[in-house]
Amino acid sequence: MANKPPYTITEKAADYLAKIVETVTRLEYGTEFKRDIRLHRENRVKTIHSSLAIEGNALTLGEVTAVIEGKRVAGKQTEIKEVKNAYEAYDKIMTFDPYSVGDFLKAHELMTEGLLEESGKFRSEDVGVFADDVAVHIGARPQFVPDLVDDLFDWAKESELHPVLKSAIMHFEIEIIHPFADGNGRMGRLWQTLLLAKWNEVFAWIPMELILYRNRPEYYRAIEDARSANDSGGFIEFTLSAVLNSIIDQAQHQERHEEKHQVELTVTQRNILNALEDGTLSRKDIFAKIGISSDTRAFKRHIGPLLSRGLIKMTVPDKPNSKLQKYRLTDSGRAAIR
């Protein structure tokens, strides 16, 4: 097996992971997020604006929106080009294999085309990150970069670590290797989003980068602290916190939107809650107990809203379609039938 990057999975990181799994399941199956195309578009713009703004792009969210819509914007041509390139890269995100170095280079070419001489290529010279002319980080020597990237991608492909944890480690290691002359931060964030989206496609439309942008000092500090410790554990904690907060933001937004159209519990929904009062039941058992047919349409109509409102929860949230899946009442569900 390829060399394992230095990392520690802390109790806090494990707790974040459990909450991410539970919250993204609620978002995916308990709300209309997957079908909200308008929100997807808005989030994609926020992703691009935030990731570029972290690197110093001065275009506002409104200007980024205008560029993507093909409108004229009074700004630096390089910054406008960065927006167009980032849009192309994120637009193709689900076509990339997260464990393919070739796709990694293709994505970098999309991200930096027309902006960088070595676009889509590993750098040929030394590069560093500087603050006030002081070197904060010096990337790997250029002759070692291809092998380091190959080793990282081989490890990621072979590792059985949960994809959410793996995505944070990949993000950090890309920053540490600094494989490109420019665009390393953008690529680290893109690749974390890619790994998350390959685990659950809703992440293709969740602007994790917005949380990182809002917390830039903490983001930089997490990278620096992990670099100094030669262990990405602290960075894993920080980015998983950002992932969780981004999902919570989306879930709360969606739930507030849907509350406006929410009606009282139907007779069938109330019967489902009553059926679950004595313990956990499978979907089949729930519908058998209340005497109606168990099919996908019935699930979306009757059980989906109960999940969305947090009145019931899955017993196996990490595998929504598991044959062992059952449902149980939450405290809110019990209160609703009192």
Nearest one of 77, 86, 19 to 52, comparing CA atoms = 86
Summarised one tens digit per residue, pLDDT across range 125-167 is: 988 665 555 555 677 899 999 999 999 999 999 999 999 999 9
Q: What is the pLDDT of residue 36?
A: 87
In the chain, CATH 1.10.10.10 covers: 267-336
- The pTM of this model reads 0.75
- Tokens 């990278």 sit on residue: 223
Six token digits for residue 306: 């109960």
Six token digits for residue 320: 């929504």
Six token digits for residue 192: 């974390």
Q: What is the pLDDT of residue 205?
A: 95
10-residue mean pLDDT profile of the chain (338 residues): values are 88 96 90 88 96 95 95 94 97 97 98 96 83 64 95 97 97 96 96 97 95 94 94 97 94 70 75 90 91 83 86 90 91 81
- Please state which CATH number belongs to domain 34-256: 1.10.3290.10
CA 49 to chain centre: 16
Task: Say how far apart CA 306 and CA 170 lie, in whole Å.
Answer: 36
Residue 138: phi and psi, rounded to 5, are -110, 125
C-alpha distances in Å from residue 224, one per residue of 5, 129, 135, 171, 308: 16, 11, 12, 13, 39
CATH class of the domain defined by 267-336:
mainly alpha
Q: What is the pLDDT of residue 135?
A: 55
Task: Say how far apart CA 277 and CA 281 lie, in whole Å.
Answer: 10
In the chain, CATH 1.10.3290.10 covers: 34-256
